[in-house]
């Protein structure tokens, strides 16, 4: 962990205009030339950012999240790191889901890491910038960076051969164990995750992956994080925290239903979801959790009276927006630590659910259901929950999805729900039966 103040270093940013175009067109070039890249996009907001390289980084654990922002302020207080545009992301990273289960497949990723990259390709609406950073020396020639990738159009030629995944009978045993704990009042809710593993026939073009996700999931936070030889990618509909100075925004996203094959069926399923006691109960647990855990750090809560429907390509969810005013002296990660992980990906009571998941799930979640996002030193930040995702390494792809279990949940229904969610990733490829 590099302490800038102790090393008396200065950071020099150099900003230049980019030609208009997609930031994603640079992904594949840097995925083959750099050990560290992070790409985030929210197509509905016309936002894309690609962070390349690692100039400086700060690592932490799940238990240290509440002090992470103070570490950054301390390390950067004596530097010349000033960007006129206060909205530009500067630091990018992730935090794994807390678990005692460890898997070598996640070895390329820290428990939590937040970096200042060497280069940032940034686009928001009509503004397109390239920002390069250096320590005590001029940045390199940026003309060497602007190598674009043209989509090959061969994404569906990547075949996924089933390698290892759970059987329904195995799922049923785990599900019944979870429901028994809920019946005995040990838990109110628990979120069980599944993993499918595939062998791929060749490497993946991640420019194409992200551009397809940006088309199919425009109202989501689409992401790619490369560390060494591992790629974690996906499309998350779940906002954890959006922070702008003292303004806070989040959402409860819990309760799911498949999409209909016609407009009439789609409306029927939406109405069913909006009135289904099981899904409404699961959803209310998340809302109550936010209100309870944020009351010490957020004032003036504004919470929608009724949930609305968030429709995605093949699934729809109950969604309730949560807003408030952040209290003085509460920093970004102090607030985030109050709510992560939420009952939408973990369960409640939280610590008991985390402990039980380590026993019930026979794999490490890693960044799946963890935190991904960005922040800067002007108290601007966006963090999402890393769901609907996959991990690619050494021509193996692991795909993850979860579902919330309450007392009246049905094993087969929940299994089918995870199958729908897994398809966000598997539908990108040609899956062999």
Using one digit for the tens of pLDDT, what is the confidence trace for 267-324? 999 999 999 999 999 999 999 999 999 999 999 989 988 999 999 998 999 999 999 9
The reply to whether 150 falls in a domain is no
- Please give the average per-residue pLDDT across 178-190, as a whole number: 95
Residue pair 83/15 in contact by the 8 Å Cβ criterion: yes
Nearest to 399 by CA among 119, 143, 200: 200
The reply to whether 147 falls in a domain is no
Give the number of other CB atoms < 10 A from CB of residue 188.
20
pLDDT of 138 reads 59
Nearest to 370 by CA among 129, 159, 114: 114
Nearest to 233 by CA among 99, 36, 38: 38
The reply to whether 382 falls in a domain is yes
pLDDT reading at 368 higher than 70: yes
Read off the CATH number of the domain in which 339 is found. Answer: 3.60.120.10
Task: Report which secondary-structure segment, H or E, holds 183.
Answer: helix 168-183
The reply to whether 62 falls in a domain is yes
Residue 291, helix vs strand vs coil = helix
What ranges in 259-361 are assigned the alpha helix state H?
A: 263-275, 277-294, 332-339, 350-360
Phi-psi region of 414 (alpha: psi -120 to 50; beta: other; left: phi over 0): alpha
Task: State both tokens at 319.
Answer: 């969604």
Give the tens place of pLDDT for each residue, 375-404: 998 889 999 999 999 999 999 999 999 999
Nearest to 347 by CA among 363, 336, 360, 334: 360
The reply to whether 178 falls in a domain is yes
Task: State both tokens at 77.
Answer: 């207080």
User: For the whole model, what pTM was predicted?
Assistant: 0.93
> Which residues does residue 323 pair with via DSSP β-bridges, in sequence order?
249, 302
- 């109110």: which residue's tokens? 188
The reply to whether 152 falls in a domain is no
As a whole-number percent, the residues of the chain with pLDDT over 90 amount to 67
The number of distinct structural domains making up the chain is 1
Sign of the four-CA dihedral 254, 255, 260, 264: negative
Give the tens place of pLDDT for each residue, 203-228: 888 999 999 999 999 999 999 999 99
The reply to whether 148 falls in a domain is no
Peptide bond between residue 167 and the one before it cis (omega within 30 degrees of 0)? no
Q: Which residues constitute the domain of residue 123?
A: 4-138+158-431
pLDDT reading at 101 higher than 60: yes
Highest mean pLDDT pick, 60-64, 145-149, 391-395: 391-395
The reply to whether 144 falls in a domain is no
């Amino acid at each position: 962990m590099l302490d800038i103040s102790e090393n008396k270093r200065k950071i020099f940013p150099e900003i230049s205009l980019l030609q208009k175009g997609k930031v994603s067109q640079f992904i594949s070039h840097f995925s083959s030339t750099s050990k560290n890249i992070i790409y985030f996009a929210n197509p509905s907001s016309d936002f894309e950012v690609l962070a390349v390289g690692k100039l400086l980084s700060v690592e932490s654990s799940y238990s240290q999240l509440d002090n992470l922002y103070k570490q950054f302020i301390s390390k950067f207080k004596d530097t010349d790191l000033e960007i006129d545009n206060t909205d530009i992301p500067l630091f990018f990273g992730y935090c794994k889901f807390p678990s005692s289960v460890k898997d070598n497949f996640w070895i390329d990723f820290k428990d939590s890491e937040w970096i200042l990259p060497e280069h940032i390709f940034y686009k928001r609406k009509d503004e397109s910038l390239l920002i390069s950073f250096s320590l005590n020396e001029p940045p390199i020639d940026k003309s060497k960076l602007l190598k674009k990738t043209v989509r090959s159009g061969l994404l569906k030629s990547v075949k996924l051969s089933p390698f290892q995944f759970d059987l329904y009978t195995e799922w049923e045993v785990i599900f019944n164990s979870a429901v028994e704990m809920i019946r005995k009042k040990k838990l109110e809710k628990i979120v069980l995750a599944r993993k499918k593993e595939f062998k791929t026939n060749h490497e993946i073009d991640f420019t194409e992956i992200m551009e397809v996700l940006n088309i199919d999931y425009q109202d989501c936070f689409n992401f790619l994080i490369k560390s060494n030889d591992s790629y974690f990618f996906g499309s998350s509909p779940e906002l954890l925290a959006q922070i702008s100075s003292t303004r806070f925004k989040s959402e409860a996203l819990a309760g799911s239903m498949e999409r209909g094959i016609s407009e009439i069926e789609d409306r029927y399923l939406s109405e069913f979801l909006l009135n289904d006691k099981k899904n409404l109960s699961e959803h209310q647990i998340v809302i109550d959790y936010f209100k309870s855990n944020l009351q010490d750090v957020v004032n003036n809560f504004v919470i929608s009276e009724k949930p609305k429907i968030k429709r995605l390509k093949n699934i729809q969810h109950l969604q309730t927006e949560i807003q408030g005013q952040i209290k003085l002296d509460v920093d970004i990660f102090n607030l985030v630590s109050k709510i992560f992980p939420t009952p939408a990906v973990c369960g409640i009571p939280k610590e008991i659910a985390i402990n039980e998941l380590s026993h019930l799930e026979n794999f490490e979640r890693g960044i799946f259901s963890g935190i991904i996002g960005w922040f800067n030193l002007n108290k601007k930040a966006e963090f999402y929950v890393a769901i609907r995702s996959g991990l690619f390494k050494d021509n193996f792809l692991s795909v993850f999805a979860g579902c919330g279990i309450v007392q009246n949940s049905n094993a087969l229904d929940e299994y089918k729900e995870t199958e729908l969610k897994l398809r966000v990733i598997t539908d990108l490829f040609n899956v062999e039966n």
